[in-house]
Amino acid sequence: MLTHRVALTVSTVYAWIAVVGFGGILVETVVIYPNVFHDAPASLVESMEFFVVTGPADLFPPLGALTVAAAVATLVLVRRHRAARWWIAASLASLVLGEFLFSALYFWPRNDIMFSEGPAVHSVEFLRRTAVEFETGHRLRLAMSGVTAGLAFTGLLRLHRELSPRPTPPAG
C-alpha cells in the first residue's frame, strides 16, 4: 500500500535525522566542548571569536525543528500501527521534553550568560560555575538525544516488521 510505503519512508527519515542529531551532539561533546570550556572565562571569549561565521547555534535549532516536524509527521502516519506508535510517541516526548524544553529552560539562559554577557557583566567565578553547570546539564541532554534516537530507530524497526510481508513456509 502507498500509505505503508509513505509511513516507512517518513519513519526512516525521522530515525535518520534523530541519529544524525545525536551524532552531532556527541561530536560537539567530544570535539568542541573541551575547547570551549577548558579555561572559562578566557576559553569562552576565544570560542566566541572562533564561532563568528558559524557555530553550534546555527546548526542545532534548525536541526531540532526538522527533527520535531519529522517526529510529528511520523507519529501521524504510524498512529494506526500499534507496534510502532508508542515507540515513536516516546521518542517525540523525549525529544520535546528532554532536548527542546530542557534546552530552552536550562541552556539558553546559560548561553546568554557565557556568550552574550560574558566577563563584561559577570565575575570570573560566576562564569566558571555557569560553565560547569552547562557541561553537567549537557550530559543529560546528550543522554536524552541518545534515547530519542534509540526510540525512533526502534519504532522504525517495529513498523518495518509489522508492514513487511512474512515469508510463507515451503509446502512439504
More confident residue, 88 or 56: 88
Q: How confident is the model at residue 169 (pLDDT cuts 50, 70, 90)?
A: confident
Residue 38 pLDDT > 80: yes
C-alpha gyration radius of the chain: 20
More confident residue, 160 or 171: 160
> What is the number of residues in the chain?
172
Condensed to tens digits (0 to 9), the pLDDT of residues 128-166 reads 999 999 999 999 999 999 999 999 999 999 999 999 877
Q: Name the pTM for this structure.
A: 0.89
- Mean pLDDT for 37-53 is 91
Q: Exposed, middle or buried, 172 (CB in 10 Å: 0-12/13-18/19+)?
A: exposed
For residue 24, how many other CB atoms are within 10 A of its CB?
15
The per-residue pLDDT for 3 is 87
